[in-house]
Amino acid sequence: MFGVGSTELLVILVIAVLVFGSNKLPEIGASMGKAIRAFRTAGEESEKIETKPPSQDEKKAS
């Protein structure tokens, strides 16, 4: 998809460890997972919302 091979992923992982430290990476991964999960559930909930056209009474009041 993006042309990222195993070598590139290894380089990115090494840079991430150097920047954030090995103790912080699991916390970052967990928070990213929670954010992605929340984004997906929000998208699913918005699909469930039904919109109804305004009734005749509401049109007359406007």
Separation of alpha carbons 34 and 17, rounded Å: 21
Tell me how far CA of residue 30 lies from CA of 1, 25, 38, in angstroms.
Answer: 25, 9, 12
Tell me how far CA of residue 60 lies from CA of 51, 54, 55, 56, 57, in angstroms.
Answer: 19, 10, 9, 6, 5
pLDDT tens-place string over residues 6-37: 999 899 989 999 998 889 989 988 999 999 99
Question: Which residue, among 35, 32, 34, has the nearest Cα to 20 in the 3D structure?
Answer: 32
Task: Look at residue 48 in the predicted model and tell me its pLDDT.
Answer: 64
Q: Cα 50–51–54 angle (5° rounding)?
A: 145
pLDDT tens-place string over residues 35-55: 999 998 887 776 666 666 667
Looking at the predicted structure, is the pLDDT value of residue 62 above 60?
Answer: no
Q: What is the pTM of this model?
A: 0.51
